[in-house]
Structure 1
């Protein structure tokens, strides 16, 4: 996984830019680092070479990144900034920096041509070029989106579908509860109260003198919070002045109550160190639950600033992370904020109590190809999807993976077929024989030809009919995301969609989605003449189907 070193590099780059008054395109540099890590075995900043930049910008970007040719100058500028940063931080020497800059000078006029060359597109880029770049990653391409129209809803958590979450085994979670410092301290406080014959007030509250003694003797920061939590979770039962220690300790039941208390009840800043943030803790945890990925500390700070909680460093986010780690909600660390497996489980239970559907994600690494495709279509977060795909592929040879995936795609809807061939696009030449076997299958033949050609392997030429069919198939995959975000779809179609003369001929394609695709183009295309051609082609396709 590249995320740790990339996050550190981006944090350092952002700080370097601020220190030197530079406007750094952090997102573009992050993308450079991510792709270098994933495809070029660049595991730290010092691993960058001139060859790495050439491979990134002239090979990997044209194959993987959906971007108009005119964006090349921005990417090259970001690469130049990265070189300056590498030199300034002594990750590279002066001679290496000169070589890198010369390579970038040569790449700059070549990259727009490479981005515009559709023959260089990888299968994934071909499939999603007409969609928003983040549509698959954000779970917009889902079976539910295809099967049921989504009605307009507000932005509250109850109306925004939760992504599937991967849960740890219950036995592991139950054992983890006993190691949460907050839970440990609560139980210590209860035992200390019982052992000393101490009693709460008639209203069940911790007495002031007991709180002071507990702080001194047990070295706990906030015994009042601990006592209130003990009462809420049932670790003690308050009946008048009596205290009872529950004999049947249910770790997960207790933990569910802990999570509800910490994120929902009035805690006055005792959890995060800031009363306002305590009040917004549910929202913060909800965001992390939906992302299901580590969030760099600077981005957490920006998030808190955006929701009006902090500015000018009023809240020490690293201290917040330490406090949440004490509570068992966050993984310990100073670089990122990430929910623990216990937090994911507890929040899912909390959502269920609120009546919010919180799906659980199956382990796709042990699934068959059909189950893998179905799982990827369910809208699982990017990090989880990537891990599942990698784990699934590791359990098979390239030939086995291609055979299973393409077999599952055979006769499947276009959206499932698109996911299957996107995963197959990750495979190298060792899968050649398995892919070549599907040249005889009409629906998969164009994809197989594309796959072979992209790897420089012998392949038949695509016929005009096959080009048209593949264009319709790709656009059919894009339809759910296009309906959700027509503006982004229209923009991407302008940058990388089929030409007008191709659209005019699409009505001839024997594809089950051809009418829907042409109607979508007729509604979405910005160029009015091309949109009119799409509507006329849709009319012809409907007429042919009726006839």
Structure 2
């Protein structure tokens, strides 16, 4: 996951819904059942783990059968101890009982429940980063030397790998052009952390690394699913014997939207709503800005316009709708217009977000728009809004205001989208509709005039028009003494 650009905001379920989901996860529900089961007869080892003789009883308490029953019971007990659902009463005698945190699950609020679940998640994530230790266990049982170097395991690197994968899965999920609620093919997710962005055709060595990563992730997601973090369709067991060739076929397209029906055999994973909450909490804990829709609802209009500046269009609208829902329409419109003023580099995009926000207010905002008709920075925006909403007696704008608004609009689009196809179409339309546009545009008293004209020269496909734009940009800089 890139650290250079802000994450899109995530839409979270309510804490009450998430808490209910957390309580229903196999991992937390099993840990809670064992905490209620713990009592004077419960015996634990030096590390707080259940002694072997107690594991069958714990598994039976959980209704678990089969060869994995003891291992699942042991994991649930470890989670209960790590989260405080179980308390070790006497380390010397090896006794345990229900812990104070168990009451949080029954009488605490949603935040209390989610706090316990986050603790359980950390335990499982730590377990998922540990490789199979069968050889090590055998060596310890035989009293032989323990050679950690032979495991080819770097705990820090393994944890970073899993964090990177989960970070990419989070980013794909919250991005507007990602799969959203849909699953991500495991080969695409593995490729996203192995194959460099600037690599063309992956080499066989890189594809082999993708194959190895897929197998690691298959094991890890199987562990993480009972925690409620993900919904996972495992790799088809029939492919395990030919995993390397399978990865080369399936990882050819590293995008998350692979159409090949067979790709589902290589594993599919998606974050649950609870998983989105959990990963966001971990990102925030690590100091990574991870906004959520609704974060700005109680803040001022200046925070809303600045905060949504980098949001994708849909997310910006959702955030604005929540902000407006808490305010009286006319007062909100006046606050938005006041916050949209300014000559700083971020001002054009603020005004664009303001215009988009005002489109959601409706006709009740009309008095606020009429109040700024003579404002140099907001008068053009106000006329556009009033005209679009069918208002009567809208005064025509002077030519200077038309050109100022044009420069401001292009500057905002540049800040929001960069050199996009939509902006190129806007530039072509401006040059075509306004004869002699560049003759006048360089004189516009707007801080972004020269930058906008340079961008128009860069974006316009007609060499003659592009040259006119560059000349106009030079004149604008000379006029400002740059």
Q: TM-score, normalised by structure 1?
A: 0.54
Matching residue of 1:242: 94
In structure 2, relative to structure 1, the CA distance for the partners of 1:353 and 1:429 (3 Å cut) is closer
**Structure 2 residue 298 is matched with structure 1 residue 376:** no
Task: Tell me if 1:188 matches 2:33.
Answer: yes
Q: Which moved more, 1:230-239 or 1:522-531?
A: 230-239
Matched-pair contact (CA < 8 Å) for 1:296–1:337 = no
Q: Deviations over 1:382-404 (max 9, x none)?
A: 66543332233334454443333
Q: Quick one: structure 1 residues 388 and 269, their matched pair in 2 at CA, closer, same or farther if it must change by over 3 Å?
A: farther
- In 1, Cα distance between equivalents of 2:117 and 2:398: 61
Contact 1:292 1:339 in 2 (8 A): no
- Which residue of structure 2 aligns with residue 287 of structure 1? 169
Note closer, same or farther for the CA distance 1:296–1:242 as it changes in structure 2 (3 Å cut): farther
Match of 2:341 in 1: 410
2:296, 2:281 → 1: CA distance? 22
Encode CA deviations 1:27-60: one digit per residue, 9 max, x unaligned.
xxxxxxxxxxxxxxxxxxxxxxxxxxxxxxxxxx
1:214 alignment counterpart: 58
Cα RMSD of the aligned pairs, angstroms, is 4.7
Q: Distance in 1 between matches of 2:425 and 2:174?
A: 28
Change (3 A) 1:294 1:189: farther
Secondary structure class of the residue paired with 2:391? coil
Asked if the contact 1:471–1:498 (Cα under 8 Å) also holds between the matched residues in 2, the reply is no
Q: Does 1:229 align with 2:87?
A: no
SS in 2 for 1:256: helix
Counting only pairs closer than 5 Å after superposition, residues 263-302 of structure 1 correspond to structure 2 as 263-266=125-128, 283-284=165-166, 287-288=169-170, 291-292=173-174, 300-302=182-184
What does residue 251 of structure 2 align with? none
**1:147-546 pair list within 5 angstroms:** 156=1, 158=3, 161-163=6-8, 181-200=26-45, 205-206=49-50, 210-220=54-64, 222-233=72-83, 235-236=85-86, 242-245=94-97, 247-249=99-101, 251=112, 254-266=116-128, 283-284=165-166, 287-288=169-170, 291-292=173-174, 300-304=182-186, 306-307=188-189, 327-329=227-229, 339-340=272-273, 343-344=275-276, 346-358=278-290, 363-377=295-309, 379-380=310-311, 385-396=316-327, 398-411=329-342, 413-458=347-392, 459-481=394-416, 485-486=418-419, 488=421, 491-493=424-426, 496=429, 498-499=431-432, 501-546=436-481
Report Cα offsets for 1:2-33 as digits up to 9, x if no partner.
xxxxxxxxxxxxxxxxxxxxxxxxxxxxxxxx
Aligned in 2, Cα 1:291/1:519: closer, same or farther, shift over 3 Å? same
Decide which moves more: 469-478 or 439-448: 439-448
| Matched-pair contact (CA < 8 Å) for 1:181–1:326 | yes
Supply the distance in 2 between the matched residues of 1:396 and 1:308 (Cα, whole angstroms). 45
Q: 1:302 and 1:495 mapped to 2: Cα distance?
A: 38
CA deviation profile, 1:319-367 (whole Å, cap 9, x unmatched):
x999978634469xxxx96644x64554344335545444677643333
Q: Is the 8 A contact 2:230 2:272 kept in 1?
A: yes
CA distance in 2, matches of 1:446, 1:189: 67
Report the Cα distance in structure 2 between the residues aligned to 1:387 and 1:490, rounded to whole angstroms: 23
Matches within 5 A, 1:46-65: none
222-231 vs 351-360, greater mean Cα deviation: 351-360
Shift in Å at residue 477 of structure 1?
A: 0.9
Displacement of 1:224 in angstroms is 2.9
Structure 1 distance, partners of 2:177, 2:52, is: 39
Q: 1:170 to 1:307 in 2, by over 3 A?
A: closer
Instruction: Give the unaligned 5+ runs of structure 2.
Output: 105-111, 133-160, 192-209, 232-268
Indicate if the aligned counterparts of 2:333 and 2:365 stay in contact, CA closer than 8 A. yes
SS at match of 2:60: helix
Cα distance, 1:185 vs structure 2: 1.5
Q: Which structure would you say has the larger RCO, counting Cα contacts within 8 Å and 6 or more residues apart?
A: 1
Counterpart residue number, 1:55: none
- CA–CA separation in structure 2 for the residues paired with 1:207 and 1:490: 67
Q: Report the Cα distance in structure 2 between the residues aligned to 1:365 and 1:372, rounded to whole angstroms.
A: 8
